[in-house]
Chains A and B, each alone.
Chain A
Amino acid sequence: MSEMALALQDLVKDFDGKRAVDHISFAVPRGEILGLLGPNGAGKSTTMRMIMDIIAPDAGTIEVLGQPLSESVKDRIGFLPEERGLYRKLKVMDTLIFFAELKGMKPAAARERGRMLLKRFQLDGYEEKKVEELSKGMAQKLQFIVTVLHDPELLILDEPFSGLDPLNIELVKDIMLESRRQGTTIIYSTHLMEYAEKTVDSLVMIHQGRKVLDGALAAVKADYGQRAIKVQYEGDARFVAGLPNVASCRDSGRELEIELADLSKREQLLRDLLGRVVVSGFQVSEPSLQNIFIRKVQEGAGA
């Protein structure tokens, strides 16, 4: 049994002359959660589609669960496509059974596990409703159930949190963590890096089809040191970027994420801030993935 749940080697895909995926390689050890991060259009979905054999790569190799993707391997994967879709006229339970059967599951087992998951997602009582009768949020939940119903060894989730309300985002996150505890490997993409920060073991950052960074979350953060300072404030903080010793500053309106060229001179920064804005918090912290990403992209553009 291979240690890697997934291994991509030099994956390339062109669409109409435009390179969507440019020599991407990474591997995911079994039992880990990997976040595939990057802005919209970075090539995350294309990469996932190639993993699922929905589109063929122009070059490169993919190994899933230690072998090239085959019919029987597909049965061990749960895939949540970026664009959700279910049969509108099919009833909820029939939908679950159909897709579970396509994954090689027996109808009776699918029904039983389907009931359990529907209950978990507060969709019990909707078994005999048609999919078109569900609200958009409910359909999203149903789609997630379809993905995990056959208890896959590998979950490939394209933007799993999109379209969900905060409660259900928590629920999906819980189920992902639970699955990992049971040994499931999870790869998920998101452009919302704040979510990724809280769940992933390792990450791959993609920008314009290229991998800009990968590694374990802790290692990535360590690489970027403790140079970031977070300031919660009220007022107009536009002047901060022009201060001496400020390498970069990201202003979110009520929070600044500042990197200093010399972290030891942070008290000078605080003095500069006081009096010009109302400071309600000031702490040295790890840089956010968002910030790391922006820096990586800028470095790439500068280089």
Chain B
Amino acid sequence: MNKILAVIKKEYKVIVKKKSFIIMTVLTPVLMAAMMFVPVLLMKVGRTDKTIAVADYAGGYIDALNARPAKPKEAKKKGIDLNAADQQQAMQQGGRITFQPVPLAGRDAAALVKEYEQKVLRKEVDGLLLIPADVKAKRQLAYYSTSVSDFATLKFIESTLRTAISKQLLLERSIDPAVVDEATREVDMETFKVKKEGTTKSDSGMDYMMSLFMIVILFMILINYGQMIMRGVLEEKTSRISELLIASARPAHIFYGKLLGIGLAGLTQVAIWIVLAGLLVTRFSGSIDAGILSFLTPEIALYFVVFFVLGFFVYAIPYAFIGAAVNTDQEAQQFAGVLSVLIIVPYILGISAIQNPNSALTVGASLFPLFSPILMFMRITTAIPPLWQILAAIGLCLLTIWGLAWLGAKIFRVGMLMYGKKPTLGEMLRWVRYK
């Protein structure tokens, strides 16, 4: 037992001290953070408090602009798409906009525009909104600014004025103000509907992206740690350290110690990522896309750990086989390539799994132990499968690992001491029977 511990300790320390380990550990959360903040940051780019001068020739509309409509309650709901049509919401998340009335004093629009062009250039104001006297009839506004791509602000102005004009038109036709309010509220309702549709869409897009992102990470670390074991075993074999090891401890103990040590290093990395992700999510929940917030739940983190551990053993043992069976790096890479393809299969299947998470193929494949670590996790991130299926996948994986570990210790024992020729599959099977 102490010897297994010694091997675990040594393998763990060697990996954790590697530069590549430290870089990966740091870099992945940076990517993760980028995924969380970039959508929000992009929206915030160049956005500060603004002052927009309003030349209100029609009269009365400036009040409508400054009297910002009350926030709809659903703003806090999950999955609000910040880039879509909820202008007020988007704008409130942006800077405060002050609409400043321009004293008209009989000046005509052309002169005013000329004057304000200079002010805009000197950044005294951020823009000039020109509301012509005939806005009601022509529905034509003019906006002058150095930046006319501030989508959210423009949408806000447009919609506010549209509502104000509608209201005014209705009031002019002597319609009961209560009815007018009711009518404008209906317009709001309509916007809300559209938004809700958009929300659903963008939400699933975010889910898809996050799920893909996590699966890419899972896939990457499984291959990474698998190859690490393979190279480690191969190094022991080619440098003949294996003889010294086997002369000191039971081969199976060395093999298990190796698996556990490297696995623990992987788990450490995953744990660091989860803690960092957790910190990011709780610390900056205000400025993180709500879609991500609803995706990164503790359950997902737990399943990530579970399927990382299962996947690690399911793939690492075959990688160790390769390391023990071959004699050179090139041979190892050839076989490892074949194994990587095997790991890619569930990944490809997973793309259809997202669309049909409950199809027979998906369910079947996600229970198959060589695929389940990636595929079952993918299903969990998109549409939670029935619990029995998750447990079945975990159970089957454990059984497979148990079998592989038994087989692995034997192949390790013989393969480690076979130098020179490349063994055939038949020979490897004979190794299993070797005492």
Which residues of A are interface residues toward B (Cβ below 8 A)? Answer: 49, 52-56, 71, 74-75, 77, 79, 81, 83-90, 94, 98-99, 101-104, 146
Question: With A and B bound together, what is the CA distance between A84 and B239 in angstroms?
Answer: 7
Q: What residues on A are CB-neighbors of B243 within 8 Å?
A: 49, 52, 54, 79, 81, 83, 85
Q: Which of B75-83, B135-143, B247-255, B364-372 contacts A (4 or more CB under 8 A)?
A: B247-255
In the complex, the chain A residue whose C-beta lies closest to that of B243 is: A81
A81 to chain B: which residues have CB within 8 Å?
240, 243-244, 247
What secondary structure prevails in chain B residues at the interface with A?
Answer: helix
Among B241, B247, B435, which residue has its beta carbon within 8 angstroms of that of A77?
B247
Instruction: Find out whether the CB atom of B247 lies under 8 angstroms from the CB atom of A99.
Output: no
CB atoms of B13 and A102 under 8 A apart: no
Report the Cα distance A143→B360, complex, angstroms: 58
Establish whether residues A54 and B247, one from each chain, have CB atoms under 8 Å apart when the complex forms.
yes
Among residues of A, the one whose C-beta sits closest to the C-beta of B18 is A89
B6 close to A (CB within 8 Å): yes
Known: A56-B435, A87-B14, A88-B235. A79 touches B247 (CB 8 A): yes
What chain A residues lie within 8 Å of B2 (beta carbons)?
101, 104
CB-CB < 8 A to A55: which residues of B?
A: 417
Q: Flag if B240 contacts A85 (CB, 8 Å).
A: yes
Q: How many A-B residue pairs have CB under 8 A?
A: 69
How many Å from the CB of B422 to the closest CB on chain A?
Answer: 15
Q: In whole Å, how far is A143's beta carbon from the nearest beta carbon of chain B?
A: 9
For the A-B complex with A54-B417, A85-B240 known, give 19 more contacts whose Cβ atoms are closer than 8 Å: A49-B243, A52-B246, A71-B250, A74-B248, A74-B249, A79-B248, A83-B240, A84-B240, A85-B243, A87-B14, A87-B235, A87-B241, A89-B14, A90-B10, A90-B14, A94-B13, A98-B10, A101-B9, A102-B249
* Contact (Cβ within 8 A) A146 B247: no
Minimum Cβ distance to chain B for residue A252 (Å) = 34
* Complex: chain B residue closest to A101, CB-CB: B6
> Which residues of B are found within 8 Å of A83, using beta-carbon distances?
240, 243
Say yes or no: A53 contacts B239, CB within 8 Å: no
Expressed in whole angstroms, the Cα–Cα distance for A56 and B431 within the complex equals 13
Complex Cα distance, B249 from A77, in Å, reads 12
Contact digits for B304-336, partner A, Cβ 8 Å, 1 yes 0 no: 000000000000000000000000000000000
> A74 contacts which of B6, B13, B247 (Cβ < 8 Å)?
B247
Supply 24 A–B pairs (Cβ within 8 Å), ascending by A.
Answer: A52-B246, A54-B243, A54-B247, A54-B417, A55-B417, A71-B249, A71-B250, A77-B247, A79-B247, A81-B243, A83-B240, A85-B240, A86-B239, A87-B14, A87-B239, A89-B14, A94-B10, A99-B248, A101-B2, A101-B3, A102-B3, A102-B7, A102-B249, A104-B2
